[in-house]
Structure 1
Amino acid sequence: MSHPDDQSPVNPLPPVVTALFLLLVGVEAALWLGSKGILGGPTAVGWRLDAIQRYAFSSDIFDWMVINGQYPLEHMIRFVSYLFVHYSFTHALFGGVLLLAMGKMVGEVFSGWATLVIFVLSGVVGALGYALILDVSTPLLGSYPGVYGLIGAFTFLLWTSLGAVGEPQVRAFSLIGMLVAIQLGFSLVFGGGPDWVADVIGFGAGFLMSFALIPGGWQRIREKIRRQ
C-alpha cells in the first residue's frame, strides 16, 4: 500500500480532458502569437481570420450542402473543428477553464471514450440545431456547445444522485438555468450572437447521451427493453 504522504493532494485530470485542453490551447496559442507578430511573420496576423473561414461552422455552407446533396469532407469537418477555434484569447480562455472544470467532474465517472463522445457529439448536435433552428449567417465558433454537453452529463449525475436519496431532481438543473440566464443577460446588455442556442442544444445532447454512456448504461437499457 502507498504511504498517504506519497499521494498527490490534487486528483489528476482524465487524459482525454487533458488532450482536449491541450489541443484547444495549442490552436489558440498559435493564433494569438501570430496576431502579435511573434510567430509566422507578417502573414500570421491573418491566421485567425483564415481559421474562421476554413474551420468555423457555417449555416450558409450547411444549407448549400443540403440543397446540392453534396457533403465534402472539407465542410463536414466543420461540425467538429469549430470547437477548437475561438474569436479571441478571452473567448478561448473561458472555454478552456470550463472544459477543465466540467471535464474533470464528468471524466471521473465516465470512461475516457465516453467523455470524448459526449464532448464531440454535443458539439455536432449543437451545430446541427444551430443551422436548423436559426436563419443566420453568423459563424459558430468555440468549445462551448461541447462543454455544455459535459455540463449536461454532470447534470445527469446530479439528477440520478438526487433521485437516489429522494431529493427533488429538478434541483440538478439549477446550474444550466443559471448559465443560460447569465448568457441571455450579457446578450441583452452588451449584445451578442445567437450561439447560446447551440449551447443549450449541446447541453440537452450531453444529458440524453449520459443514459447510455454512464457505466452500465447500455445494460440497463437492454434489460428495460426486455422487460417491456
Structure 2
Amino acid sequence: MALPDGEPPRFESAVNPLPPAVWLLFLAIIGVEAALTLGANGIVGGPGAVGWRLQAIRDYGFSAQVFQWMLEQHFWPREHLLRFVTYPFIHPVFTSTLFSCAMLLALGKWVGEIMGSLAVLVIFFAAAILGALLYGLLATEDFPLIGAFPPVYGLIGAFTWALWVRLRAYGQQQLRAFTLIGVLMGLQLLFGLIFGATQGWIADIGGFIAGFVLAPVLVPGGFRALVARLRREG
C-alpha cells in the first residue's frame, strides 16, 4: 500500500496474495461462523444446533465477572484462561463476522506485507489478550466479550504506528496517524447512542494499544528499516 506524500492512507483490495497468517485467521473465523449460521438455520446438526451460538458464547466468550472471581480466588482454571484467545472467533451475528473479516483482510494484508506473517499472529493474539484483560479489570456489565474487533484494533494500532513513523520521517503532523482510530471510535460512540452501548470499546482500546506498542518490536530490521521502506513507497 503506497502512501503518497500528503495523501491519506488507502487500503488496496484484500485479495491474493494474502499472508498465510491472515488466511489462517480468516478461515478460522469464517469457519466457526459458517457452522453456527448453518446450525441456526437447521441445515446441519439437527434441532439442537439452533442453540450452538449461545452455547459457544457461554463456553468460549470472555466474562469480566469470571475473571474478577479468578482474581479474588487466585484460581486460574485452564478452561477460563483459554477464553482470552477463543472469544475473537465467536460473533453475535453473521453481519458482525463479515465486518470483522473485511477489516482483518485489509489490515492483515498490509501489516503482513510490512512486518511479516508471524507479526500478524503475534499482534492478533496479544491484542486479544490485552483487550480481554482490560475488559476484565474495568468492565462493569455482565455481558460476555466476543468478536474479533479487539485483535483487529490491534492491527489498526500497528498500522497507526507505521503511519506515525512515516509522517515523522517527512516532518508532517503526526496526529494525522490517529485519524482511522478516531473515526472508528466515533462511529462506535454514534452506534452506541442509537442502538445501545456496551463496554466492548474497553477491549478495543486495549487491542489498539497492544498493536501500537508491539509494532516497533516486530518490524523486520527495526525502526530505520521501516522508515526506509515507507520512504521508498512514498
* Residues 1:134 and 2:159 aligned together: no
* TM-score where L is the length of structure 1: 0.89
Structure 1 residue 216 displacement after superposition:
2.2
2:213 aligns with one of 208, 212, 221:
208
- 1:80-126: CA deviations, max 9, x gaps? 10000000101111111111111011111112111100011001000
- Shift, 1:192, TM fit: 2.5
Partner of 2:69: 64
Paired with 1:192 and 1:121, the residues of 2 have a C-alpha distance of 25
In structure 1, the partner of 2:91 is 86
Amino acid at match of 1:38: I
CA distance in 2, matches of 1:218, 1:108: 16
Partners of 1:151 and 1:219 in 2: CA distance: 21
The structure whose Rg is larger is: 1
For 1:41, the equivalent position in structure 2 comes to 46
* 1:11–1:47 Cα change, 3 Å: closer
Q: CA deviation at 1:147?
A: 0.1
1:25 paired with 2:30, answer: yes
Tell me the TM-score normalised to structure 2 length: 0.87
Q: CA deviation at 1:219?
A: 10
Whole-angstrom distance in 2 between the partners of 1:167 and 1:127: 34
Q: 1:135-214, aligned counterparts within 5 Å? A: 135-214=140-219
Alignment of 1:8-19 (within 5 A): 11-19=16-24
Counterpart Cα distance in 2 of 1:52 and 1:180: 24
The residue type equivalent to 1:196 in the other structure is: W
| Candidates 67, 74, 77, aligned match of 2:79 | 74
Give the distance between the partners of 1:114 and 1:57, measured in 2 at CA: 24
Please state how far the C-alpha of 1:205 moved relative to its aligned partner.
Answer: 1.1
Q: Which residue of 2 aligns with 1:6?
A: none
Give the Cα–Cα distance (whole angstroms) in 2 for the partners of residues 149 and 189 of structure 1: 26
Q: CA deviation at 1:11?
A: 4.7
| Matched residues, number | 211
TM superposition shift of 1:137: 1.1
Amino acid at match of 2:57: I
Distance 2:219 2:92 in 1: 33
Separation in structure 2 between the aligned mates of residue 142 and residue 188 of structure 1, nearest angstrom: 20
Q: Is 1:123 aligned with 2:134?
A: no
One-letter identity of the residue aligned with 2:200: D
Structure 1, gaps ≥5 residues long: 1-9, 221-228
Identify unmatched segments of 5+ residues in structure 2: 1-14, 226-234
**1:104 corresponds to which of 106, 109, 124:** 109
Q: Distance between the aligned counterparts of 1:79 and 1:11, measured in 2?
A: 30
Q: What is the identity percentage for the equivalent residue pairs of Structure 1 and Structure 2?
A: 53
